[in-house]
Structure 1
Amino acid sequence: MLFYKQVPESPIRGSTVTLECRYDLEGDRLYSVKWYKDGVEFLRYMPHDRPKIKAFNIKGLKVDVIRSTNTTVVLDNVQHSASGIYKCKVLADAPTLDEDADEKKLVVTETPLSMDQPPIGILGGSVRLNCAHNLGSLPLYSFKWLKDDKVFYTFIPRNRPPGEMYSVQGVTVDVSPLLREAYLSSSVCQTQMLQGNYSSLFLKNLSALSAGAYRCEASSDAPPFLTVQDEKMLAVFEQRDMRPHITYDRETYQVGDNVLLNCTSSRSRPAPKLAVYVNDRLLIDADVRTKVDTHPDGFQTTTLAATIPVRQHDVSRAALRVKCQASFVGLYEAVGEMSIPVGQHTGDHRAPYQHQRPQHSQPPQRPPHLGSISSTQDECLTKAMKILARAWVAYQ
């Protein structure tokens, strides 16, 4: 009996896998073909039965019976649980023809593509999009960059030229940071640069329209014809200070009064979600009114209005502690805090004390990641902010 079996060694999670078991019975009739995973039968082909193919439930395997045959088994949407030792067994009508193929190991791996970019950018600044990918021995068919599902750059090795740019609103690709020589600025040189660095791009002149979902996508040019992709959100802010601004209607309050409080976010795209806390107690939606305004330049602001009753048990050290938190699509949090005076007069009813902090569930965001430094003044301001931040940590 001539025997041949093929099992992909490292399929990608979520892909479709085809297992092959080819044989030559040398004139004898086929009785059955059986497939095993880790010693447990999961598919049987018997040409004299109806139906010919029968699949057995094994956790982690999704067999496509319709596309499977006497020589192939198709597994859909493979997950890590599909990893294991696979074997096929062929039996002919002649009792002497009963043969097992060698066992083959299959290990499901993660997608060979990962996109990296800062989650936020500053108006007029720049961000770098980087998409590391490794298709192994599979040749690259195409690579694409998209914003909100609109293609703005493609790279197809077989084309001449292989790279091509497309106009998408809010997207301006800056090729100069990747050029080895600063004076190379002709369109020809820029095209050549993009061909060699298609998986790493700089976006410059960020505006509100630059915000959105950015995606990189790589496709292979050989079976199993994989397409892998990753997507990240980019939010754009008008300025680095992203703390919401808090105001209230009077200079001082007494127990039993109501505080008419407004919290307004900084200008950004998209608009953040606002939440107000009184002594770390979240005000529920029934207690607040929220609206989002879109400005002519595309930036947005969120305004939250709340009526807060002053209760004795909420007052500590003659003040009501209020916090307004702005959450930007799960990417970043900016917090403004203040103590509203109760039972005493003050000349300023704005926040005497505010601070900003990154969301705990996300990696710390550092000012250099928010955009490029456009002037010496900005650089000095950034250094000053770092010094103040260290001083504040030491103070706490």
Structure 2
Amino acid sequence: MPVFLLALLVRLLAFNIQGCRCLEGLRLEIFPSVAHRGGEVRMTCIYDLGDSPLCYVKWYRGNFEFYRYTPSENPPHKLFPYPGIHVNIGLSNGTQVVLDGLGLGLSGKVTCEVTTDDAIPQSASLESTLVVHDLPESGPVMVLERTADAYSPGETLRANCSSPPSKPAPILFFIINGNPCGNEGLCERRVVPVSDTLTWSATFLTLHLKPSHFKKGNLNILCKAVINGIYEDQTSIDVKESPVYQVKIGSLRPSSATTLHSSCLCALALFFSSTVMR
């Protein structure tokens, strides 16, 4: 092999090794980690080029390129149409891309690829997962089988709590006087798909009422909706003990006047007994 070719090969190999070192430490960050439908997400590709110039940064959703930043071109931005992707050009550059108006279909793998503009270009890529959720439009709604002031111990209370369609469906659970449903009553959860992406959820409560459920004539039932880490809402109802039941219980308790009358009769009986025995 000619000497000049060998020298060129050595230089290229050394340059190649140097280029590889330039792209060490590549990181991909997505904020927020869980994005909301219709919202915004900022994806940052962090890299250190060292002395090497940047050729371009490419962004992919799955295997499809949707954004490229090439500093040597004017303008440096290049967009590739992809259903549901809206790139905010004003906030996107060589280290980050910002998407707004997010759709549920964007959930999936996202990749950033960095390439240097060297004699032998070096590339490095990293992928992460973009998660887009569709949160409930409003809080949970609770409905009782009867009005909230018509319950008595010994009866069965039935209620349901539902949440508007969302992705994912929230976990709904009842809390009775501060205690989880499992400790107090029977709860049944149902999840029903309403479209290809959205799910409706509800939880049904069956509670056999006891006198201990009514604290000063009041029973508190709370329904909480939770999507771990990103959503939480609740609603509650105060169930009043039936006035009819309170009257019945009150009629069984001796009044102070009755007690006084009984005491007087006992005293008179003792008086007459002692008089006769003399």
Question: TM-score normalised to the size of structure 1?
Answer: 0.44
Verify: 1:243 aligned to 2:142, yes or no. Answer: no
- The equivalent position to 2:219 in structure 1, one of 310, 320, 343, is 320
1:254 to partner: Cα distance: 0.8
CA RMSD of aligned residues (A): 4.1
Q: What is the match of residue 131 of structure 1? A: 43
1:238 to partner: Cα distance: 5.8
From the superposition, tell whether residues 142 and 9 of structure 1 become closer, same or farther in structure 2 (CA, over 3 Å).
Answer: closer
1:174 to partner: Cα distance: 5.9
Verify: 1:210 aligned to 2:104, yes or no. Answer: yes
Q: What is the match of residue 273 of structure 1? A: 171
Alignment of 1:114-193 (within 5 A): 114-117=29-32, 119=34, 121=36, 126-137=38-49, 139=54, 142-146=57-61, 149=62, 151=64, 153-155=66-68, 157=70, 163-168=78-83, 171-173=84-86, 175=88, 178-179=89-90
Say whether the 8 Å CA contact 1:270–1:299 is kept in structure 2.
yes
From the superposition, tell whether residues 201 and 249 of structure 1 become closer, same or farther in structure 2 (CA, over 3 Å).
Answer: same
Q: What letter matches 1:228 in structure 2?
A: L
How high is the sequence identity, in percent, across the aligned residues? 13
From the superposition, tell whether residues 165 and 308 of structure 1 become closer, same or farther in structure 2 (CA, over 3 Å).
Answer: farther
Q: What is the match of residue 333 of structure 1? A: 232
Structure number having the greater helix percentage: 2
Distance 2:167 2:182 in 1: 25
Say whether the 8 Å CA contact 1:151–1:166 is kept in structure 2.
no
Say whether the 8 Å CA contact 2:135–2:231 is kept in structure 1.
no
Q: What is the match of residue 112 of structure 1? A: 27
Report the 3-state secondary structure (helix = DSSP H, G, I; strand = E; otherwise coil) of the residue aligned with 1:265: strand
From the superposition, tell whether residues 9 and 218 of structure 1 become closer, same or farther in structure 2 (CA, over 3 Å).
Answer: closer
Q: What is the match of residue 282 of structure 1? A: 180
From the superposition, tell whether residues 219 and 120 of structure 1 become closer, same or farther in structure 2 (CA, over 3 Å).
Answer: closer
Q: What letter matches 1:341 in structure 2?
A: K
Verify: 1:342 aligned to 2:241, yes or no. Answer: yes
Say whether the 8 Å CA contact 1:211–1:235 is kept in structure 2.
no
Structure 2 alignment gaps of length 5 or more: 1-17, 245-278
- The equivalent position to 2:202 in structure 1, one of 303, 310, 313, is 303
Distance 1:228 1:302 in 2: 37
1:310 to partner: Cα distance: 1.7
Q: What is the match of residue 375 of structure 1? A: none
| CA deviation profile, 1:22-52 (whole Å, cap 9, x unmatched) | xxxxxxxxxxxxxxxxxxxxxxxxxxxxxxx
Say whether the 8 Å CA contact 2:159–2:205 is kept in structure 1.
yes
Distance 1:335 1:152 in 2: 42
1:117 to partner: Cα distance: 3.1
Report the 3-state secondary structure (helix = DSSP H, G, I; strand = E; otherwise coil) of the residue aligned with 1:173: coil
Report the 3-state secondary structure (helix = DSSP H, G, I; strand = E; otherwise coil) of the residue aligned with 2:134: strand
1:280 to partner: Cα distance: 2.3
Alignment of 1:45-64 (within 5 A): none
Report the 3-state secondary structure (helix = DSSP H, G, I; strand = E; otherwise coil) of the residue aligned with 1:136: coil
Distance 1:130 1:154 in 2: 13
Q: What is the match of residue 233 of structure 1? A: 131
Q: What letter matches 2:47 in structure 1?
A: L
Distance 1:284 1:143 in 2: 52
Verify: 1:259 aligned to 2:157, yes or no. Answer: yes
Q: What letter matches 2:179 in structure 1?
A: R
Say whether the 8 Å CA contact 1:245–1:263 is kept in structure 2.
yes
Distance 1:211 1:342 in 2: 50
Question: How many residue pairs align between the two structures?
Answer: 215
Task: Please tell me whether Structure 1 or Structure 2 has the larger radius of gyration of its CA atoms.
Answer: 2
From the superposition, tell whether residues 260 and 203 of structure 1 become closer, same or farther in structure 2 (CA, over 3 Å).
Answer: same
From the superposition, tell whether residues 150 and 225 of structure 1 become closer, same or farther in structure 2 (CA, over 3 Å).
Answer: closer
From the superposition, tell whether residues 211 and 331 of structure 1 become closer, same or farther in structure 2 (CA, over 3 Å).
Answer: farther
Say whether the 8 Å CA contact 2:58–2:114 is kept in structure 1.
no
| CA deviation profile, 1:115-151 (whole Å, cap 9, x unmatched) | 11384646xxx322111222111757653253xx574
Q: What letter matches 1:217 in structure 2?
A: T
Instruction: Return 293-302 or 246-255, whichever deviates more.
Output: 293-302
Distance 2:168 2:71 in 1: 38
From the superposition, tell whether residues 322 and 269 of structure 1 become closer, same or farther in structure 2 (CA, over 3 Å).
Answer: same
Say whether the 8 Å CA contact 1:288–1:306 is kept in structure 2.
yes
| CA deviation profile, 1:80-105 (whole Å, cap 9, x unmatched) | xxxxxxxxxxxxxxxxxxxxxxxxxx
Question: TM-score normalised to the size of structure 2?
Answer: 0.60
